[in-house]
Amino acid sequence: MKKIALLVLALILILSFAAGTALAADVTYVKVTGSVVNLRSGPGTSYDKLGSVTKDTQLVWLSTGDGWYQVKTSSGQKAWISATYSELVSVADPGSSTPQTPSSSTPSGSAKTALVNTNSSNVRSGPSTSYSSLTKLSAGTEVTVLYFSDGWYQVRLADGTEGWISASLLDLGNSGSILVAEKERRQTVRFTHGQVCGSGKYALSSGTAGLIVKIQSSEPFLYEIARTSKGMAFYTDISLSGETNVSSYRASGVSSLSQTDNKTALLFSGSQKLYLGAVPSADGCTVTLTVGTSPLIGHRIVVDPGHGSYAGSSTDPGAVQNGLSERDINMAIGRALLYKLNAAGADARLTHDGPTSLDLYDRAWFANALEADAFVSVHCNSATNNTANGSSTYFYAPAGNTMGWNRSEHQLLAKEVQSELVAALASRNIGVKEERFVVIRETDMPSILVETLFISNPSEAAVLSDPDSQQQIAAAIRDGMANWFAAME
């Protein structure tokens, strides 16, 4: 009996060991369920933000504590993520189901490629200039984007080397619903004007901001945009065919269209100063041009309706005064501003269009990932004294700080918008102020936060709630931004 018992015990131990081995083969990951979720240094929102991950990203699970998961990223970094916006999943065969690389270059969740836009760009061992340089890359080098943190991208080079490069040194390509068009000042691929590498056709039509020129080819093609003494020029490396008679489109401000350089260039002229914007398709075979007199044409602008973030079951309404919620007023003005900017030829985007899981840092990240040319956060002011009134505009670019290199641009943007806002509303001019608000501190581009009027003041609250006044406020912000872009050229 004793031998039988020992045999049974041994069998149980063997089966238990086998079962344990099978369980050990299951690798547990944390799958992100929120659209954009923060990684933090500890299990709580009071801990430092280490970066962001997007929906469906999978991270290796390490432990669980107080509604948070401790995880490890593909770079080996340990961090914590809220269980509210993620879930545990088990993968039986980790060799065939590796976790997705966390990528904050776009809200799509998968790794994307990008082009280096500056010669001798340093790839460093960590996300700041204090880390050593691993190598230098030339303009046009393609890298794979792995991760985003505080203005730096972790990238993988063609030889497998991984390192960090400043976000300002990369141009992102198409990513999910976000198309990051090439910018004239960041054009990295040069070609000889007049060389012909293919053919294409273009068609003309009218748009809200000017003349629309849709160029199509069977193969991807290169292009450059340049200002000439008479207007704007679009250079490409394919021979183009299409009509040049623009008499039907004079309302756009374009008085003539001609071709040169073996028909590889389109030259636009007008009686007023012209602007040209180009939006390429994801496959590079189509480019849509907008040519007109608005300085906003071709510029990417991110509009942030203030407040509206939610955590769990609670939502941030902003100030609630005189029967109004600041969140709702900000959204109404933000949507109106979005429409007016796009109608003027800009490529404008909202950080959110209703209740959102994006916190303040995420909104700044959104603008950075889009490589926006400008950022504006729309707010209403509030005070305990209900007689407080007026309009103000904030920027942040302290001298001596890394953000201070383009301080004049930040400040001028705030001044232009403030001037138009006060003129449109006949409001008290509180002035242009400088404050360390997160959304204008963490963005890489010139950014402002606009306090339109006081929601706590009954008279100004009545203006804020009026749909016509909301349109007026949006138009003033648009006009101020147009003035700024015109001055920046």
60-107 pLDDT, tens digit each? 877 766 667 888 876 677 888 887 778 877 543 333 333 333 333 333
Instruction: Please give the pLDDT value at position 81.
Output: 86
Residues of the chain with CATH 2.60.40: 199-292
| DSSP 8-state assignment for residue 420 | H
Residues of the chain with CATH 2.30.30.40: 23-100, 112-181
Give the SS3 label for residue 150. coil
Instruction: Please give the pLDDT value at position 39.
Output: 84
Q: Are residues 476 and 421 in contact, defined by beta-carbon separation less than 8 angstroms?
A: yes
Instruction: Please give the pLDDT value at position 312.
Output: 63
Q: Evaluate if residue 259 carries a pLDDT over 90.
A: yes
Give the SS3 label for residue 167. helix
Residues of the chain with CATH 3.40.630.40: 300-488
Q: Domain 112-181: which topology?
A: SH3 type barrels. (2.30.30)
Instruction: Please give the pLDDT value at position 356.
Output: 83
Instruction: Report residue 62 as tokens.
Output: 């390490």
- pLDDT interval class at 205 (50, 70, 90): very high
Higher pLDDT, 483 or 128: 483
Separate counts of helices (H) and strands (E) for the chain? 7, 33
Share of the chain above pLDDT 90, in %: 47
Q: Cα dihedral sign for 405, 409, 415, 417?
A: negative
Q: Evaluate if residue 46 carries a pLDDT over 80.
A: no
- pLDDT tens for 320-374 read 999 999 999 999 999 999 999 999 999 999 999 888 888 898 899 889 988 899 9
**What is the pLDDT averaged over residues 378-385?**
97
In angstroms, the CA 226 to CA 234 distance is 7
Q: Evaluate if residue 184 carries a pLDDT over 70.
A: no
Alpha carbon distances (Å) from 16 to 90, 127, 357:
20, 46, 44
Instruction: Please give the pLDDT value at position 131.
Output: 75
- pLDDT interval class at 4 (50, 70, 90): very low
Instruction: Please give the pLDDT value at position 2.
Output: 40
Rounded to two decimals, what is the model's pTM?
A: 0.63
Please state which CATH number belongs to domain 199-292. 2.60.40
Please state which CATH number belongs to domain 300-488. 3.40.630.40
- Could you tell me which CATH class the domain 23-100 is placed in? mainly beta
Q: Are residues 149 and 50 in contact, defined by beta-carbon separation less than 8 angstroms?
A: yes
Q: β-strand 347-350 against 300-305: which pairing, if any?
A: parallel
Instruction: Please give the pLDDT value at position 334.
Output: 96
Q: Evaluate if residue 444 carries a pLDDT over 50.
A: yes
Alpha carbon distances (Å) from 284 to 140, 204, 217, 278, 370:
16, 19, 9, 12, 18
In angstroms, the CA 416 to CA 378 distance is 15
